[in-house]
Amino acid sequence: MKRIKKYRTDFLFPRPSFLIGLGSILNISGNYFDFNYSSSDYEADYKSILSDWGVVGEDVKDAESLFNEIMKKEKNN
C-alpha cells in the first residue's frame, strides 16, 4: 500500500508542471515563479526543520514496513 507523503523537503520552492517550465523559457522579465514565503526567518527555519524531520520519520516508517514484509516472507518459508 502506497502512503501519501505529508512532508516535503522542497516546500519553499514552486512545483511547476512541464507546461509551466516550457512557458518560463519565454519569460523575459525573470519573475515567472512565486515562491512560498514565511513572515520571518525563524518561521521559515521552523517550517524547514519540521518538514525535514517529518521526511526522516516517513523514511523510518517505510524502512520498518519493508523490514516487516521481509521478515514475514522469511518466516513463511
Tens-binned pLDDT, residue by residue, of the chain (77 aa):
566 666 666 666 666 677 766 666 776 666 666 666 788 989 888 888 888 898 899 999 999 999 999 999 988 87
- For residue 56, being part of any structural domain is answered with yes
Domain that holds residue 51: 38-77
- For residue 46, being part of any structural domain is answered with yes
- For residue 74, being part of any structural domain is answered with yes
Per-residue pLDDT, 26: 72
- For residue 54, being part of any structural domain is answered with yes
User: Rounded to whole angstroms, how far apart are CA atoms 35 and 24?
Assistant: 14
pTM: 0.56
Total tally of structural domains belonging to the chain: 1
